[in-house]
Amino acid sequence: MNGTPHRQGFSPWPEDGPVHQSAAPGASVGGQQAVGVNHGTVTQYVVHPDATPQERFGKGRLLLDAGLRARAEELIGEAVAQRLSGTEVLYRWALAIVSRRAVEDLTTDDMEKLHTLEHLLGERPADSYGRAARVVLLLLNEAFGQAPADVGPDELAARRGDAAATAIDSLPKARRVEVLDHLRHFLSEIVRERLDAAEADDIRAHRTDTRRAERVPLFFEPDPLPPLQVPAVVIPVTFRFKAMLGFGVLLVLSGLVTGAPTMFRDSAGSALAALLLLVGGGAAATWFGVDRSWRRGRARQEDVWRANGGPATRRYGQAYPGSGPGGPSPAQLAFAGTVDRIIDGHFARQVRSGEDFDAWWAVTAVPRADLLEELSDMYGPGNDPYGLDWLIRKHAQDTAGRWRAGLLTGGRWRRDVPLVVHAGYFGGLLALAGGVLTGGSAAADPVAFLQALAVWALGGYLGAKGAAAFRGEQLRRAVDREEFRTRWEGEQQTFVEWRAFLDAHQPHDWEMGRWLNYDMRHLRREALHHYELRPHQIVYDFFVLEAGEGARRAKVSNGPVRYSVYRIRLYVMTERGIRLATWTVDFAEGTHHGRSDTSQRYESISSVKVDRKSVQLTDRRSGSRQAVTVLPDGSIRGNAESGELTLSEELVIERDSSHETRLRVENFTTTEQSSAEDLSHLLSLSQEASGISTASRILVAVAAEGREWFDEQRRRNSRRFAETKERSASAARVQRLSTPMSGPATGAQALEGRDPAADA
């Protein structure tokens, strides 16, 4: 990724500048910035039921990097349950359990998993992962620990803070950065201050690394559909022209039978020359004349097509799906509507500064309409219309190039009749004339010759008309095939280059998640610095993410929706109240244009609820979708029985001042999901990725119990942690006492399938 490939002719970027400043590429096509893209061929988060433990761990690690903690914990836990428990596995499992959570977040089940993990870690080698896993457990034990009777809390905190900071600082840089990130809410003030500079350096070095500004927009590019070649239509010659050709040949032969004796009676040589001239000239005049006439007619037809429209798929009245008497289906109309918006969007962006947009728009009206009909006919509703974005962009750029060169108003295809055709036609006419003169002078009976000549002329005319039908169809297919082949080859070359460009530069979803995490860490530091808050003054903080206005959307299979513009909210719970910082972030650049700050008291939150506001109806026959409203009485406006319901949820925070904040959960109605994706799973994933699940749980508790909930929850969890740890230790002692020394592998060794003797 040291350079951005670029080929003259087709540009992956719009004409008006960098891609992130334009709505041109990807999901933003046609001005439909709310419509999203599903990279269905990207399966980095898809886990097969028969996946090996190693595969489950690999997927879980990717999910953890992408910020999807719950699913990562599930997969890595499954790998551990299937006897995979190396030091890296245990370390990643620990991170997945506690990632970006706090003491009050953990459940009894989480604590039991951590104690099991500590038991499995045992005496594992002190490699970088083993050391990092032990540091994680050290931080957790300190966060949940109780002060000894003879040591004050401040002194104990100082001791533990120094020990934790030293332990973290001793880790390799990669592990140190991970621990600081995932355990941010478990770190004491001393640890935070000791390692603050290291965190700042890490954010500064990696927040916009690996060409983020150039690569992020490519994530929103749809998976390109391969180009299809327009088939050359075969139009059978009708019986009428077949009969004309046959009858004409019979008349010519009849004329030869009656006219030849009169010419050969006196001068056989002259008669033979006349016959050769008549037959050869007639054949040449017919062959080349048909070619000449067809090409000139084709040129006139092209003028008509150019003026009135002539899509390649409908030039000859052929029927395509949806063109019958019943009209297009809703799915076909939806497909064509989306393609139409993409076409208008790309053509509109081709006009450069100083060029006449109105003139461009008027002269491209027919090409745009033709392109819409061709793509609708060839690709239809069975394909993702956004997969045609690259192809439409190519046609728009090619059309703009011809317009600037003054070629757009010229012929669309070859207009000139080749010189050889003219020569053959006029040469044939001269030969015919020579044959008539020679035959007439050699004829013994001029009247009989003229009669034969009349028969020849009539037969030649009828034969020429019939031959013209056959030859014209042959020429038409040849010209169409050449045109469609040339067009397809150009499209195929562009497709291959564009696909290679995306493969080389399109970021992975986990990279998008990593950049987003760096943005949130950066914004958090910015806000806390502005509020002049020290770590000990912060009770809890969390982020909530939404799509910004006009954001493009894209996702991979079983992954969260990513946005080109984020609306990021940071809730900071302090002793006195809640601080709320809000940013609108251009994700490609990682920049924002200011922060909005508000504050409120804990007691001002009157209620927090989830509002199920709408459903999605899917017509099983047409594939069309429609969002409808849930009425106040709970009824649904629309025929719910004919489709599938997908809930759209909003988190509603109501305050005493009658003010409310609505946080929308992405419900995937704006992105195309594959049939293999479970919408309930996607909704749960969206709740986690957006922070809504954390927000609802914390704010509901605060609304019910106030600030005191945090202290009480931490006390409860500290007791649970100690109790579960004691139970886990007791179970481990019982297992060691009940297992013979010469018995099978136990504990961590059993999970790895290792021989205890080998460790001894």
Which amino acid makes up residue 202? Answer: D
Residues 724, 55 contacting (CB under 8 angstroms):
no
CB atoms within 10 A of CB 17: 10
Check residues 290 and 41 and name the one with the higher pLDDT.
290
Res. 430: pLDDT tops 80: yes
Residues 402, 367 contacting (CB under 8 angstroms):
no
Check residues 144 and 131 and name the one with the higher pLDDT.
131
Residues 134, 175 contacting (CB under 8 angstroms):
no
Confidence of residue 456 (pLDDT cuts 50, 70, 90): confident
DSSP 8-state class, residue 388: G
Confidence of residue 375 (pLDDT cuts 50, 70, 90): very high
DSSP 8-state class, residue 630: B
pLDDT at 644: 43
Question: To which H or E segment does residue 301 belong?
Answer: helix 268-308
pLDDT at 89: 96
Question: To which H or E segment does residue 45 belong?
Answer: none
Confidence of residue 407 (pLDDT cuts 50, 70, 90): confident
pLDDT at 94: 96
Distance CA 360, CA 568 (A): 40
Q: What is the DSSP string of 409-426?
A: TS-SS--SPPHHHHHHHH
Nearest to 379 by CA among 363, 390, 366: 390
Q: Dig out the tokens for 141 from the structure.
A: 């034990």
pLDDT at 98: 94
Check residues 90 and 10 and name the one with the higher pLDDT.
90
Confidence of residue 652 (pLDDT cuts 50, 70, 90): confident
Q: Which of these ranges, 65-69, 425-429, 633-637, has the smallest mean pLDDT?
A: 633-637
Can you tell me the mean pLDDT for 278-306? Answer: 79
Can you tell me the mean pLDDT for 52-56? Answer: 94
pLDDT at 752: 40
pLDDT > 90 in the chain, percent:
28
Question: To which H or E segment does residue 171 belong?
Answer: none
pLDDT at 757: 33
Confidence of residue 43 (pLDDT cuts 50, 70, 90): low
Check residues 471 and 275 and name the one with the higher pLDDT.
471
Can you tell me the mean pLDDT for 680-698? Answer: 78
pLDDT at 513: 92
Check residues 469 and 76 and name the one with the higher pLDDT.
76
Burial pattern 556-582, b for ≥16 Cβ within 10 A else e, equals bbbbbbbbbbbbbbbbbbbeebbbbbb
Identify the bridge partners of residue 556 per DSSP, sorted by sequence position.
39
Identify the bridge partners of residue 581 per DSSP, sorted by sequence position.
570, 597
DSSP 8-state class, residue 568: E
Alpha helices in 184-224 (DSSP H): 189-194, 196-206, 212-219
Confidence of residue 321 (pLDDT cuts 50, 70, 90): low
Cα dihedral: 450, 453, 459, 465 (round 10): -110
Distance CA 392, CA 48 (A): 36
pLDDT at 241: 83
* 599 phi, psi to nearest 5 deg: -145, 155
Helix (H, G, I), strand (E, B) or coil at 443: coil
Q: Dig out the tokens for 557 from the structure.
A: 């299979």
**In the chain, what is the straight-line distance between the N-terminal and C-terminal CA atoms, in Å?**
48
Q: What's the pLDDT tens digit per position in 228-280?
A: 998 887 788 888 888 888 888 888 777 777 666 665 566 667 767 877 887 78
Over its C-alpha atoms, the chain yields an Rg (Å, rounded) of 39
Distance CA 568, CA 350 (A): 33
Pairing of strands 36-39, 553-556: parallel
Q: Dig out the tokens for 318 from the structure.
A: 């052929």
Res. 393: pLDDT tops 60: yes
pLDDT at 269: 72
CB atoms within 10 A of CB 320: 17
Residues 216, 512 contacting (CB under 8 angstroms):
yes
Q: Which of these ranges, 201-205, 276-280, 630-634, has the smallest mean pLDDT?
A: 630-634
Q: Dig out the tokens for 597 from the structure.
A: 């700050």
Among 139-153, 219-233, 611-625, 661-675, top mean pLDDT goes to 219-233
pLDDT at 32: 38
pLDDT at 185: 84
pLDDT at 186: 85
Check residues 674 and 74 and name the one with the higher pLDDT.
74
Among 545-549, 658-662, 723-727, top mean pLDDT goes to 545-549
pLDDT at 234: 79
pLDDT at 478: 86
CA-based max dimension of the chain: 145
Res. 721: pLDDT tops 80: yes
pLDDT at 750: 34
Confidence of residue 704 (pLDDT cuts 50, 70, 90): confident
- Tell whether pTM > 0.85: no
pLDDT > 70 in the chain, percent:
74
Distance CA 589, CA 214 (A): 9
E strand spans, 70-216 = none
Confidence of residue 41 (pLDDT cuts 50, 70, 90): low
pLDDT at 670: 52
Res. 747: pLDDT tops 60: no
Residues 79, 56 contacting (CB under 8 angstroms):
yes
Nearest to 716 by CA among 729, 728, 701, 731: 701
Confidence of residue 680 (pLDDT cuts 50, 70, 90): low
Cα distances (Å, whole numbers) of residue 383 to 104, 240, 449, 561? 48, 42, 68, 21
Question: To which H or E segment does residue 10 belong?
Answer: none
Q: What's the pLDDT tens digit per position in 512-540?
A: 999 999 999 999 999 999 999 887 788 88
Confidence of residue 663 (pLDDT cuts 50, 70, 90): confident
pLDDT at 9: 44
Pairing of strands 648-655, 36-39: unpaired
Q: Which of these ranges, 79-83, 156-160, 417-421, 731-735, has the smallest mean pLDDT?
A: 156-160
Query: Average model confidence (pLDDT) for the chain?
Result: 78
Residues 274, 260 contacting (CB under 8 angstroms):
no
